[in-house]
Chain A
Amino acid sequence: MRTVAVVGASLAGLSAARSLRRQGFDGRLVIVGDEIHRPYDRPPLSKEFLAGTMAEADLALEADGEDLAAEWLLGVRATGLDRNERLVRLADGTAVRADGFVIATGAAARTLPGSEGLAGVHTLRTLDDALALRADLARGGRLVVIGGGFIGAEVASTAYALGLDVTVVEVAPTPLAGPLGEAMGGVVSSLHADHGVRLLCGVAVAGLSGESGRVDAVLLADGRSLPADTVVVGVGARPNVEWLEGSGIALENGVTCGADGRTSLAAVVAVGDCANWYDPLAGAHRRVEHWTGALERPASAVAALLSGGAAEPGPVRPPYFWSDQYGVRIQFAGHAAVADSVTVEEGAADDRSFLAVYRRAGEPVAVLGMDQPRLFMRWRKQLAQPAASTASVAPAAVRS
């Protein structure tokens, strides 16, 4: 393999580039990214950076002096992948020919139809989004967050600390029920009420109202109207894979991948938020939108790319993420959806400091910690042990 092109210059793309070099690839390495920025870290965008306690320079993912001997093509979008010509087409009319490809185009924030063009309405995915939101939060006043997921909850918590009057609207009866299950979703989202932040559940947003181009209220399906100076739409993300349509690569909820990141096309792997990897522990494809997956999985994908699929996929680690809300550190690993029970093993939910273990047929399948980093770490390591995982192992990946 003489040339590898990495498309997407963020956490997963950078991790893939590092893995390529670490695993001995010494050929030409081209990294394409549509943002003009060098790779930067997104989690602080809803936390420390939004709060103003972290500077832009501190978001950099690369270490000082780190040199991957790569050609960086930044500020240019990839528009297509040509499997026959083996090249990535770029929006400026040029193309990059390569022998191997790493797709790492991540995800984009979902928007609310009809919110386009109204000032004061934000999504949060990029540095530029965070700068714009920070400027609006500095005006103070009333913030309505649409969506009680992690990013919405973190923005609510940061805005609360900045002194804004905050309301969170969630269409589901319980926020975070998907990733954490009903019971624990309820516990974690009670942090809002603990701090006097209003949480309205089970009600849909019907629309936004605004005068002279700036939002002034969020209209709910039950007829209520919530006055707002600023609105954040935190309704999830969709994988950035439109540019791959027509390329012949299998797409379903992102790029369909095996357990080692290989796609339906030879010498093309996909990593990070855009990639729907087969997860043998869950027995299903899972598009994991977590930082740690984007950091760690590229090593396996690059091994598969360089070996043509002959490399043993690395050990499957249960997906892990963290969130910081209202000064409480939330950590989760595993799959809540497959559990049939969840029990608090240490501490108490009411104290917002506890460790809960999710089990299926008595076997631990997931663990949640609130302000329990030490215990959580031990449980997370234990979950990653083969003994714990065999309980839920399913047949090997079926690749399309």
Chain B
Amino acid sequence: MKIPVCRLADLPRGEAYRLEIDPPVSVFHTDDGEVFAIDDTCTHQDASLADGWLEGCEVECPLHASKFDLRTGSVDSPPAKLPVRTHQVVVEDGMIYVEPSQAVPNLPPCVGARLAGGLA
């Protein structure tokens, strides 16, 4: 399944776009012109990585500064302990598409509980 995100021209370098699917995905356009997609929700707690700080191929979470590698989703800096999923990105005719990963997402505990309708 290929989901259209936005036009590449509408996503300047250094910016991020949050794709409101469930769970949300953030798409980053790096300063070097590459485009990456990862799960938007930090694996630590409930924060949107599209709101984070993009530097090179790394995004810093806006809440507690965990850093994730956009290429692999791995944690470069704690407190997060689990990686985010990465998603395939294709750019066709100037349009960015994301192919959502089929892997199980590493949602943070409080968000996982809320989505499952439990606990809270």
Residues of chain A having any CB pair with chain B under 8 Å: 41, 44, 48, 51-55, 58, 61, 63-64, 291-292, 295-296, 322, 329, 331, 373-374, 376-378, 381
Q: Given A48, A53, A58, A291, which contacts B64 in the complex, CB threshold below 8 Å?
A: A291
In the complex, 6 of the A-B residue pairs with CB atoms within 8 angstroms, ordered by the A residue number, are: A53-B109, A53-B120, A54-B113, A63-B78, A373-B47, A373-B63
Q: Given B63, B65, B81, which contacts A63 in the complex, CB threshold below 8 Å?
A: B81
CB-CB < 8 A to A58: which residues of B? 109
- Among residues of B, the one whose C-beta sits closest to the C-beta of A55 is B109
B100 near A: Cβ within 8 Å? no
| CB–CB A53/B113 < 8 A | yes
| CB–CB B53/A292 < 8 A | no
| CB–CB A48/B110 < 8 A | yes
| CB–CB A373/B51 < 8 A | yes
| CB–CB B62/A41 < 8 A | no
In Å, the complex CA distance between A322 and B44 comes to: 15
Instruction: Identify whether the interface residues of A are mostly helix, strand, loop, or mixed.
Output: helix
| CB–CB B51/A53 < 8 A | no
B48 near A: Cβ within 8 Å? yes
CB-CB < 8 A to B104: which residues of A? none
CB-CB < 8 A to B119: which residues of A? 52-53
In Å, the complex CA distance between A61 and B52 comes to: 22
Given contacts A41-B79, A374-B51, contact A52 B120 (CB under 8 A): yes
**20 extra interchain contacts, Cβ-Cβ under 8 A, other than A51-B120, A61-B78?**
A41-B79, A48-B45, A48-B109, A48-B110, A53-B110, A53-B119, A53-B120, A63-B78, A64-B81, A292-B65, A295-B79, A296-B65, A322-B64, A373-B62, A373-B63, A374-B51, A377-B51, A377-B60, A377-B62, A381-B53
Given contacts A373-B51, A374-B62, A377-B53, contact A53 B79 (CB under 8 A): no
| CB–CB A373/B113 < 8 A | no
| CB–CB B110/A54 < 8 A | yes
CB-CB < 8 A to A331: which residues of B? 63
CB-CB < 8 A to B65: which residues of A? 292, 295-296
Which are the 6 A-B pairs with shortest beta-carbon distances?
A374-B51, A58-B109, A373-B51, A63-B81, A373-B62, A377-B62
